[in-house]
Amino acid sequence: MTTIAISVKDLSKKYGDRTAVSHANFEVPLGTVCGFVGPNGSGKTTTMRMLLGLITPTGGTGTILGENINHPEKYLNRVGAMIEGPAFYPALSGAENLRLLATLGGYAKDQVQGLLDRVGLGDRANSKYKTYSLGMKQRLGIAAALLPNPQLLMLDEPTNGLDPAGIQEIRELLRSLASEGTTVFVSSHLLSEIEMISDSLVMLRQGKVIFAGKTKDLLLRQQPIIIAKCSNSNDMVKLLEIAKSAGHEGSIIEGAAHILAPADWAPALNTLAFESGITLSQLSPVLPSLEETFFEMTGDDQ
Ligand code: ATP
pLDDT of residue 23: 97
122, 265: one domain = no
Ligand 1 atom with the smallest distance to the CA of 157 is: 2
Whether residue 215 lies inside any domain: the answer is yes
Contacts of 114 (CB under 8 A, 6+ apart): none
Does 39 share its domain with 82?
Answer: yes
Distance from chain centroid for Cα 57: 23
Per-residue pLDDT tens digits for 224-243? 899 999 988 789 999 999 99
Of 121, 178, 174, 84, which is closest to residue 112 (Cα–Cα)? Answer: 121
Q: Residue 86: which pLDDT band, with cuts at 50, 70 and 90?
A: low
Atom of ligand 1 nearest to the CA of 207: 14
Specify the residue with its C-alpha closest to ligand 1, atom 19.
41
Within a domain: residue 299? no
pLDDT value at 301 more than 60: no
Domain that holds residue 75: 4-220
Question: ∠ CA 196-161-182 to the nearest 5 degrees?
Answer: 45
Average pLDDT score over residue span 107-121? 92
Domain count, the chain: 2
pLDDT at 191: 86
Residue 140 shares a structural domain with residue 230: no
Whether the pLDDT of residue 244 is over 70: the answer is yes
Q: What is the mean pLDDT of residues 187-198?
A: 88
Distance 174 CA to ligand 1 centre (A): 25
3-state secondary structure of 263: helix
Smallest CA separation from ligand 1 atom 24, residue: 46
Using CA atoms, how far residue 153 sits from 1, 33, 58, in Å, is: 19, 9, 24
Distance from Cα 143 to the centre of ligand 1, integer Å = 26
How far, in Å, is the centroid of ligand 1 from the Cα of 57?
14
Single residue among 175, 190, 220 that ends a domain in this structure: 220
Ligand 1 atom nearest the C-alpha of 18 is 30
Query: In one letter, which amino acid is 208?
Result: K
| Polymer length of the chain | 302
Q: Cβ(183)–Cβ(152) under 8 Å?
A: yes
CA distance 226 to 230: 13
183 exposure class (CB count in 10 Å sphere: 0-12, 13-18, 19+) = buried
The pick from 14, 15, 52, 191 for probing ligand 1's pocket by mutation, whose C-beta has the most ligand atoms within 8 angstroms, reads 15
Shared domain check, 244 and 208? no
CATH number of the domain within which 96 lies: 3.40.50.300
Indicate the SS3 state at residue 193: helix
Q: What percent of the chain has pLDDT over 70?
A: 96
Model pLDDT for residues 134-149, shown as the tens digit of each residue: 888 989 999 999 999 9
Tell me what the mean pLDDT of segment 80-99 comes to: 91
Does a structural domain hold residue 298? no
Which of residues 259 and 287 earns the better pLDDT score?
259
Closest CA to 129 of 149, 118, 146, 143: 143
Q: Among 21, 42, 189, which is best to mutate for testing ligand 1, by the most ligand atoms less than 8 A from CB?
A: 42
Is residue 126 one of the residues assigned to a domain? yes
Ligand 1 atom with minimal separation from the 13 CA = 16
Q: Which residues line ligand 1 (CB under 6 A)?
A: 15, 18, 20, 38, 40-46, 157, 189
What is the Cα–Cα distance from 223 to 92, expressed in whole angstroms? Answer: 51
Residue 166, pLDDT > 90, answer no
Tell me the average pLDDT of the chain. Answer: 90
Is pLDDT at 300 greater than 60 in this prediction? no
On whether both 99 and 236 belong to a single domain, the answer is: no
Same domain flag for 154 and 262: no
Query: How much is the average pLDDT of 259-288?
Result: 92
Domain assignment present for residue 292? The answer is: no
Residues 185 and 39 placed together within one structural domain of the fold: yes
Per-residue model confidence (pLDDT) at position 302:
45
